[in-house]
Structure 1
């Protein structure tokens, strides 16, 4: 029970039902559950039986139905004559309004009311608009078009189950929504009342693919009980007689080539006691199971069980029945048993902790964490994965990069002088004939300047004890690409890092370095560099000159002049100026060669 709303002085219960309990997704389904549970609290409750009419007409059914049993498991239909279309009575309109269903006319309202009451969709055709008096159950062809009751035209992708009238014209998208060309209107005099059981997989594929999400589709995609179809049809006939003056115009057609076989289960008392942790009397167990509609035969302490048709796919093994016994008896009535040992500690997830630590560092350094949508309006690569059925035009493609989303964030904050953001989220890389690869990325974006961003990345690497090399566009560890860095738009800079590689190359502790026994020699060298010379190349050239170069750092830049602070050290012996002179010459030669 989620909540109780009061609508027109009447309580309306908002109840959340798990998706596997299709039998409870109706008024009668909830009433059945209540009738089983309330007696456990001392409240007398009995499920009210339905008063259904008997149809004994022998009038020929003059519509030819060509069924495909693989697509449609059961069809029930009957012709109703002398139908008087009008507004529904207030009690019916109020009932539909309370569940969010718009009243239309008495016949359509009857079909909707029965669906909400019993949990089985039912459909009404205008009989006279079925000019060919033929209904063919088939799969749709790619590109076929039809218009639904809500005046929306849909293009079929192929493979959906449709009804056509023998001329190729689609007259229904069964189990989901009817079509405009056979809808019941104020001029309707004769109605074809119809219910079917369509392959649930086909229903879901069509409903999701065409973006038609109706209550009928929600029920049918969960494999509604085909045995319930007859009850729904008879209840609709009763209401049509009472509210529309309908008379029976044909015999009742029931095409049911392969009724499902309901599996029986054997359950012993010992197994029940073991799972529940207590002994329940057989009379109590039998009463609980019978209240749920099960057939129970107790012989020699063994329960021979058969589920009702509406639970046939839900109650298949002994443990399913034990679960139902425990649920109705009340979990609060079952004995509790403390563990004999202490609850073990949850093993820490090192990767998760490191990801959290990275976010903490970045936030402390002045960046703001953002969360952006995984879907983008325009593809950011040639092979972006596109949603078959996007909900909106600005959420069509699965992103392969976080940067486009960050550019949008910075644009939305363009009046702010300093915007620096980061995000750790999945990107989606296509893989032929398989599901996309979900790859976790860390992206930092700023409108400050490049050196500030590079300093943040270097500080992060220092925290992670990663020794990386910066090229003009890429960040490398040995030959492994950690990510990219650079300008992505005018005055906007970004770094994109693969979190998996960061974790792989990170270390919890810095690499051990023994204490120095020799003093360093530190000097500044200034180079006049041609325009467009990358500083990363200069640093690499300096570093690769000799193993005696311990570090090199850019100290200052003025126009084309760049000054670097270079530290020399020999761990085995003390360096002298005499040792530095040839190194200085080599460095100068290497850097000059870059121009």
Structure 2
């Protein structure tokens, strides 16, 4: 949300630097994410001054040029060569002095330099209005008021506005702060806490009056639950035209495009007070009657954006006497009833619509407007009439209109303020510090929260209806704390804790594994649980019948809950590769969702994605491409950290892999790991190999909490490591060698590992090379060379006998 500092200062007179005000707003919970300098004309015409043309002679070397001397308020006049046909002595003109930067329509600047034009020196430029951004005329130079003093900055003459705009990251609960008035209220409360008393200045509407009651519209609301409050007023003799410069500048500063004076005024009041308004062409409302109702399912309606939409029977509509739809209430107006250049009379609407109904309608039609953004979060029901009168006065002032009806307000059931009891004891307990009662009362008063009753233990409070986020005691405490200042709460020097018996902690286990993966260079990703329905067709293991569908999806790409973390992960992989980040190491803890008949199933998974090189390229380290063995080693590391070493490895049955294995413990599958099928990668535009591991995290945690860890002393005697490079038939698996090794030497052999595999044209056909490492250790003594050689010889002979292996 953008908030203009100049606009804000119309509500609260403050001379602080924007940065300082932004810091206070952030402390109050309205986080200022950035401050942007905005100029009504880029460069603010810095360096452009009023000049008086003293002399004007024809250029000796060019018929269409003139040589002038101009008084610009400096010590001496300057000479300027000018090509405008209307330049003449005695004129007051805008002069861009040497060093000035002027900007064209595209925002590209050019600097005024001293130079020679056809042999005559020129020390500046006399400007036309389009060269200054003050208009589109280029027939000649601008001629200014003869009363102006030479040297006066032109920015002062044309009231060039320089503003600073806050980009506020507004949280959804702060509906009250969705306007300049709302932000000013918070700023005032923060200033009062610092002992600075400032009055909140709101626009006066005391001059409002009805010229004559000549154009009455009957308002009929059929469902007060959907439209608790509706108001309108008629204004005639309006002249639709461009808005004045000050109004356009205000809207442009906060990123709103000016359209015409009527529409601009409704937008201005919306951003000023937070109350959405809508202007109808009064001549297009049949029967001078406004009906607020719902229509039949499937009714056609064309909105202002030119799109024909099918209405739901739940969409609240503004209609005329014939029940012809004119506007989707609280969301978007109709194409045929809006204000045009030919409009002379308008019906101006302000309302309080049901937030839930507006939210559903906006999502149903895929619309997100400034009005719906506010209505669906809850606006101030008590500002409706005030905002309507404020807009009517502006229309009279700017568009020349006359109010010709009373302000008709239909409001049968008043929306009451919220009543909350606040205990002083609970305030101290939640905050962790006792605040003086007077301080609490002053903060509440600054937030316009009234004290209805007072006891020794607390306060009975009345919270304004516009504070839809403050309805509980905890909300009151939060309000007190944010205004008092989180930074002002004292740190305790005493830590209170309790010691519980050690027990399995799933969250702690997850954090432990996450830290292990981060140390290995993995980055955590968090993908959306909503995904495309079409993804299930990429695997025979998934079924569209098991999709958990959204009743009201935001889009077709977010219509179902994911059945697998693979596809959302591949979206992240593709996104990175497309931006030249080809070396991928991702992990994600997330859930999958399935529907089986009427039952829903959630399961937590841990997934790993690896692609590209293992590590960043370096001059002193060879490039190592990620392969299956790398991700397998990472998976083994995770399982071992959880105490699962004796897992069974079998080929995977999951068709998302072109090659893969499954780790299981008994009949319980723990992990699928392998290379993602090229067919699936093609769907995501990925052209490099991607390795993927999918841990059934719920199952792993279930068996891990019953897994007993054994603690042993560090060995007294050293271990010994030996390697063998074996030439084997291709069908021999590492698992076979692993089992054979431990069958051959059961006592002193501690570890067997495969650290290299080679298959190439330098080997005999049908052969491959395995490089194995063996760790030997005796717990009671240091191994001797003869003993080591004997064991290695026994292992070698076992491999030769069982697998026809030979040493390389």
CA distance in 2, matches of 1:372, 1:295: 44
| CA contact 2:189–2:443 (8 Å) conserved in 1 | yes
Cα deviations by residue, 1:456-502 (Å, 9 ceiling, x for unpaired): 54566556552232222241322221232344346846342316255
2:510 counterpart residue number: 351
Moved more, 467-476 or 555-564: 555-564
Equivalent in 329, 334, 337 of residue 179 of structure 1: 334
1:468 aligns with 2:647: yes
Equivalent in 20, 26, 38 of residue 7 of structure 1: 38
> Which secondary structure state, in structure 2, belongs to the residue aligned with residue 202 of structure 1?
helix
1:439 counterpart residue number: 605
Are the structure 2 counterparts of residues 344 and 139 from structure 1 closer, same or farther at C-alpha, using a change threshold of 3 Å? farther
| CA contact 2:165–2:253 (8 Å) conserved in 1 | no
Cα deviations by residue, 1:108-161 (Å, 9 ceiling, x for unpaired): 111111111111111111122223655443446665553332334445566333
How large is the Cα RMSD of the aligned pairs? 5.4
Moved more, 351-360 or 224-233: 351-360
| CA contact 1:139–1:160 (8 Å) conserved in 2 | yes
CA distance in 2, matches of 1:320, 1:504: 39
Displacement of 1:371 in angstroms is 4.9
1:400 aligns with 2:565: yes
Are the structure 2 counterparts of residues 438 and 113 from structure 1 closer, same or farther at C-alpha, using a change threshold of 3 Å? farther
What aligned pairs does 1:26-175 form with structure 2 within 5 A after superposition? 26-49=179-202, 50-52=204-206, 53-54=208-209, 61-63=216-218, 65-131=220-286, 133-139=288-294, 144-155=299-310, 159-165=314-320, 169-175=324-330
2:7 counterpart residue number: none
> Which secondary structure state, in structure 1, belongs to the residue aligned with residue 268 of structure 2?
helix
Displacement of 1:259 in angstroms is 1.1
Are the structure 2 counterparts of residues 32 and 459 from structure 1 closer, same or farther at C-alpha, using a change threshold of 3 Å? closer
Moved more, 431-440 or 166-175: 431-440
Cα deviations by residue, 1:209-266 (Å, 9 ceiling, x for unpaired): 4332222222111111211111111111111222222223333322212212334455
What aligned pairs does 1:368-379 form with structure 2 within 5 A after superposition? 371=525, 374=528, 379=534
Are the structure 2 counterparts of residues 494 and 142 from structure 1 closer, same or farther at C-alpha, using a change threshold of 3 Å? farther
Displacement of 1:21 in angstroms is 3.2
Moved more, 55-64 or 122-131: 55-64
| CA contact 2:676–2:692 (8 Å) conserved in 1 | no
What aligned pairs does 1:359-398 form with structure 2 within 5 A after superposition? 359-361=518-520, 363=521, 371=525, 374=528, 379-382=534-537, 383=544, 398=562
> Which secondary structure state, in structure 1, belongs to the residue aligned with residue 390 of structure 2?
helix
| CA contact 1:314–1:320 (8 Å) conserved in 2 | yes
Higher relative contact order (CA 8 A, sep 6+): 1
CA distance in 2, matches of 1:369, 1:335: 35
Are the structure 2 counterparts of residues 4 and 105 from structure 1 closer, same or farther at C-alpha, using a change threshold of 3 Å? same
Displacement of 1:5 in angstroms is 3.7
> Which secondary structure state, in structure 2, belongs to the residue aligned with residue 124 of structure 1?
strand
Are the structure 2 counterparts of residues 539 and 147 from structure 1 closer, same or farther at C-alpha, using a change threshold of 3 Å? farther
1:243 aligns with 2:398: yes
1:21 aligns with 2:174: yes
2:379 counterpart residue number: 224
Are the structure 2 counterparts of residues 563 and 314 from structure 1 closer, same or farther at C-alpha, using a change threshold of 3 Å? closer
TM-score (norm: length of structure 1): 0.74
1:192 aligns with 2:347: yes
Cα deviations by residue, 1:536-563 (Å, 9 ceiling, x for unpaired): 8967997999998999988998645689
Cα deviations by residue, 1:66-102 (Å, 9 ceiling, x for unpaired): 4211211111112222222111111111111112111
TM-score (norm: length of structure 2): 0.57
2:691 counterpart residue number: 494
1:340 aligns with 2:527: no
CA distance in 2, matches of 1:21, 1:411: 39
Number of residues paired by the alignment? Answer: 568
> Which secondary structure state, in structure 1, belongs to the residue aligned with residue 651 of structure 2?
coil
Are the structure 2 counterparts of residues 445 and 72 from structure 1 closer, same or farther at C-alpha, using a change threshold of 3 Å? same
1:277 counterpart residue number: 434
1:310 counterpart residue number: 466
1:422 aligns with 2:585: yes
> Which secondary structure state, in structure 2, belongs to the residue aligned with residue 381 of structure 1?
helix
| CA contact 2:304–2:332 (8 Å) conserved in 1 | yes
Are the structure 2 counterparts of residues 566 and 110 from structure 1 closer, same or farther at C-alpha, using a change threshold of 3 Å? closer
Displacement of 1:172 in angstroms is 1.3
1:477 aligns with 2:664: yes
Are the structure 2 counterparts of residues 525 and 158 from structure 1 closer, same or farther at C-alpha, using a change threshold of 3 Å? farther
Moved more, 103-112 or 433-442: 433-442
Displacement of 1:162 in angstroms is 2.9
| CA contact 2:561–2:593 (8 Å) conserved in 1 | no
CA distance in 2, matches of 1:513, 1:305: 65
CA distance in 2, matches of 1:88, 1:286: 44
CA distance in 1, matches of 2:420, 2:200: 25
| CA contact 2:362–2:372 (8 Å) conserved in 1 | yes
| CA contact 1:424–1:440 (8 Å) conserved in 2 | yes
CA distance in 2, matches of 1:241, 1:412: 55
Are the structure 2 counterparts of residues 69 and 359 from structure 1 closer, same or farther at C-alpha, using a change threshold of 3 Å? same
Cα deviations by residue, 1:389-415 (Å, 9 ceiling, x for unpaired): 66797999856315644774797599x
Are the structure 2 counterparts of residues 285 and 566 from structure 1 closer, same or farther at C-alpha, using a change threshold of 3 Å? closer
| CA contact 1:470–1:536 (8 Å) conserved in 2 | no
CA distance in 2, matches of 1:510, 1:300: 61
CA distance in 2, matches of 1:385, 1:113: 43
> Which secondary structure state, in structure 1, belongs to the residue aligned with residue 265 of structure 2?
helix
| CA contact 1:79–1:249 (8 Å) conserved in 2 | yes
CA distance in 2, matches of 1:152, 1:463: 58
Cα deviations by residue, 1:335-360 (Å, 9 ceiling, x for unpaired): 73634347899999232122221342
Displacement of 1:197 in angstroms is 1.4
CA distance in 2, matches of 1:484, 1:225: 55
Moved more, 49-58 or 106-115: 49-58
Moved more, 230-239 or 434-443: 434-443
1:518 counterpart residue number: none
CA distance in 1, matches of 2:281, 2:344: 8
| CA contact 2:676–2:689 (8 Å) conserved in 1 | yes
